[in-house]
């Protein structure tokens, strides 16, 4: 991507004075934390950029290949989601929101749940939050079409309330199967709800940022950042989101 275009996307993020620092050996170099859905690990110590040595052992995790949806291909999985009535959200949704993007993508972006616009259009991250996500991705050289985008929940919680534990537990196997089919090189959890559900933790988003977590038995690297809808409400946090994106880009460069 040329520098002019990147500048335009950074402007969209409200970041006009970004200067790229060399990741390897810099203060931006990622620390490594092994975590799982069952238990998030302790924060990592600084440095140790490329070494996969974890400071804590991973907790037992569900085998993503052995979940309820094991064996389903993309088409079958999409059909199962469209017909799903496993939780009460099926009664209030307009339609399910399965996910969108390149089925061979290296990047998997995971949000919380569909909002009103997503529920209406059947696609995750549309509207203003979707536009900001697109700008965030473009800023690190990725087009929306190059990644895969999904939510923890496939149906909209009424009034955009937080998903409850039952809803998340019922819906997660669909995402786990999507991950097993996609085999991403990195997952970017956007927002507190997505991060907490994926990592099985109640830690704050601030405590989960700037670490490399791991998801499932396949130990997919997982990085946490802010939800674009939150950034629209709190633009002062955009710079932190930008730091997270650079961090994630550095992580995938080492995979
Ligand atoms: S939220 Fe998930 S589990 Fe609940 S009805 Fe929708 S697809 Fe099924």
Residue nearest to atom 6 of ligand 1 (CA): 155
Residue corresponding to tokens 């819906």: 171
> What percent of the chain stands above pLDDT 90?
71
Taking the centre of ligand 1 as the mean of its atom positions, its distance from the CA of residue 171, in whole angstroms, is 5
239 pLDDT exceeds 90? yes
E-only strand ranges, the chain: 100-101, 107-111, 148-151, 186-190, 213-215, 220-225
| Separation CA 25–CA 230 (nearest Å) | 31
Burial class (CB in 10 A: 0-12, 13-18, 19+), 19: exposed
Taking the centre of ligand 1 as the mean of its atom positions, its distance from the CA of residue 2, in whole angstroms, is 42
pLDDT on residue 120? 97
pLDDT tens readout for residues 151-201: 999 999 999 899 999 999 999 999 999 999 999 999 999 999 999 999 999
Between 70 and 225, the higher pLDDT residue = 225
Residue nearest to atom 4 of ligand 1 (CA): 87
| Separation CA 232–CA 13 (nearest Å) | 10
- Least confident segment among 46-55, 158-167, 191-200, 237-246: 46-55
Non-local CB neighbours of 43 within 8 Å, separated by 6+ positions: 31, 33, 207, 211
30 pLDDT exceeds 90? no
Query: Which is nearest to 121 in space by CA: 85, 87, 149, 88?
Result: 149
DSSP string, 50-69: S----SSPPPP---GGGSTT
Residue corresponding to tokens 């950034």: 231
129 pLDDT exceeds 50? yes
Taking the centre of ligand 1 as the mean of its atom positions, its distance from the CA of residue 119, in whole angstroms, is 13
Structure tokens given for 52: 């996969």
Residue nearest to atom 2 of ligand 1 (CA): 171
Q: Which run of H or E residues covers position 79?
A: helix 74-82
pLDDT on residue 114? 97
Query: Is any ligand 1 atom within 6 A of the Cβ of residue 81?
Result: yes
Per-residue confidence band for 255, with pLDDT thresholds at 50, 70 and 90: confident
Between 28 and 207, the higher pLDDT residue = 207
Structure tokens given for 27: 């203060």
Query: Is any ligand 1 atom within 6 A of the Cβ of residue 105?
Result: no
For the entire predicted model, the pTM comes to: 0.80
pLDDT tens readout for residues 84-128: 999 999 999 999 999 999 999 999 999 999 999 999 999 999 999
E-only strand ranges, 123-237: 148-151, 186-190, 213-215, 220-225
| Separation CA 191–CA 237 (nearest Å) | 12
E-only strand ranges, 41-185: 100-101, 107-111, 148-151
- Angstrom distances, CA of residue 251 to CA of 38, 128, 204, 246: 22, 28, 21, 9
Residue 170 alpha carbon, nearest atom of ligand 1: 3
Non-local CB neighbours of 83 within 8 Å, separated by 6+ positions: none
Taking the centre of ligand 1 as the mean of its atom positions, its distance from the CA of residue 203, in whole angstroms, is 25
């Amino acid at each position: 991507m040329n520098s002019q275009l990147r500048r335009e996307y950074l402007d969209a993020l409200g970041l006009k004075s970004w200067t790229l620092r060399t990741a390897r050996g810099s203060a931006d170099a990622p620390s490594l934390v092994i975590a799982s859905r069952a238990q998030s690990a302790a924060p990592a110590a600084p440095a140790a950029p490329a070494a996969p040595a974890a400071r804590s052992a991973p907790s037992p995790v569900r085998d993503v290949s052995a979940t309820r949806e094991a064996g389903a291909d993309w088409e079958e999985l999409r059909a199962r989601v469209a017909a799903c009535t496993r939780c009460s959200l099926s009664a209030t949704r307009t339609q399910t929101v399965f996910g969108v993007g390149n089925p061979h993508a290296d990047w998997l972006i995971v949000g919380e749940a569909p909002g009103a616009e997503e529920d209406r259009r059947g696609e995750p991250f549309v509207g203003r939050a979707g536009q900001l996500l697109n700008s965030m991705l473009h800023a690190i050289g990725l087009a929306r079409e190059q990644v895969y985008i999904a939510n923890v929940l496939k149906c909209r919680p009424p009034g955009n309330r937080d998903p409850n534990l039952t809803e998340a537990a019922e819906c997660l196997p669909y995402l786990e199967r999507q991950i097993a089919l996609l085999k991403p090189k990195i997952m970017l959890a956007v927002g507190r709800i997505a991060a907490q559900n994926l990592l099985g933790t109640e830690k704050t988003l601030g405590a989960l940022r700037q670490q490399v977590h791991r998801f499932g038995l396949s130990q997919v690297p997982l990085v946490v950042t802010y939800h674009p809808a939150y950034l629209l409400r709190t633009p002062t946090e955009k710079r932190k989101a930008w730091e997270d994106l650079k961090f994630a880009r550095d992580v995938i460069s080492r995979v």
